[in-house]
Amino acid sequence: MSLVLEASTSSPDFAAIKQRQRATWASGDFAVIGTTLQIVGEALAEAADVRAGERVLDVAAGNGNATLAAARRFADVTSTDYVPQLLEKGRERARAEGLSIRFEVADAEELPFDDGSFDVVLSTFGAMFTPEHARPAREMLRVVREGGRIGLANWTPEGFIGRLFKVIGAYLPPPAGLKSPALWGTEPHIVELFGSHAANIRCERRHFNFRYRSAAHWVQMFRDYYGPTHKAFAALDVPAARELERDITALLDELNIAGHGSLVVPGEYLEVVVTRH
């Protein structure tokens, strides 16, 4: 997966791409990384003004950061993802907190819910990775009621994760014709996807701080547990993997604001709240 913004005119095989993506997110153990992002789910639930008793859908929920955030606010939550292993991690977290949440395997591009079934739809760093951008946007708009809200957190192309995937893309180019996930981190693309059905769109750039012992610690954790980097390293021979590690380490060192004793790298993302007309 690359976050390069240019798109080819060739027609990609979306079914094959989706199959590979599912395998990628099922590899490693995303929950180890995902739980560190919990604060983003909490911030998004606040931005979307999730209230007690509201029907909330978490799309491409992963291990459930936005799911748990909404349930902690006493909403009626349904958590979905197309990777069953990730939903099971969310289910374990919900059990640990005694939260009542429905978990359902579902594709963000084809949600199995009736029109207007939810008051709020959320997605943190999930829907942005779907192959066909218009489809999940259309589905989220369809299942949220009139006057309901859609809350999204999407990595920006200029931020750390955007730059990281450009580094990986130099070694493993994306499929021809596939739109960049990073487009979801740009306000014009959000307006293009949601504007015709929106009474209001609010976009705000925020930062999540990646906090690790060192650049080497970050690389090892993401190489072991984060599906895209796990798969990228596995696909390369030893010399190329070493070069990729060197390039990622250089990016981490460039962006580290903690000095030599630790690693703190701000990762910019776009927080989006769409109010459906």
pLDDT tens, residue by residue, 187-211:
999 999 999 999 999 999 999 999 9
pLDDT (0 to 100) of residue 17: 86
The residue to which tokens 């192309």 are assigned: 157
> Tell me: the pLDDT tens digits for 140-178?
999 999 999 999 999 999 999 999 989 999 999 988 888
Q: Can you tell me the distance from the alpha carbon of 144 to that of 127, in angstroms, rounded to the nearest whole number?
A: 15
Q: Give the up-direction half-sphere exposure of residue 3: CA atoms within 13 A in the CB hemisphere.
A: 24
Instruction: Output the six-digit token pair for 206.
Output: 């925020």
Gap between the Cα atoms of 48 and 148, Å rounded: 10
Per-residue tokens: 197: 């059905």
- Tell me what the mean pLDDT of segment 253-262 comes to: 96
CA 89 to chain centre: 16
- Domains of the chain are 14-162+174-212+268-276 (3.40.50.150)
**Cα angle for residues 238, 169, 25 (degrees, 5° grid):** 85
How confident is the model over 42-51, as a mean pLDDT?
98
CA distance 57 to 121: 5
Lowest mean pLDDT among 3-17, 37-51, 226-240: 3-17
Tokens found for residue 271: 């927080």
Please tell me the distance from the alpha carbon of residue 73 to that of residue 96, in angstroms, as a whole number. 16
Give pTM, 2 decimals.
0.93
In the sheet where 263-276 sits, what is the strand order? 102-105, 76-81, 55-58, 118-124, 144-155, 263-276, 198-212
Distances (CA, A) of 101 to 122, 156, 246: 15, 30, 42
The closest alpha carbon to 151, from 112, 178, 118, belongs to: 118
In this prediction, residue 2 carries a pLDDT of 39
- According to the model, what pLDDT value does residue 1 have? 39
- The identity of residue 10, as a single letter, is S
Confidence of residue 71 (pLDDT cuts 50, 70, 90): very high
pLDDT for the residue 10: 56
Distance CA 137, CA 135 (A): 5
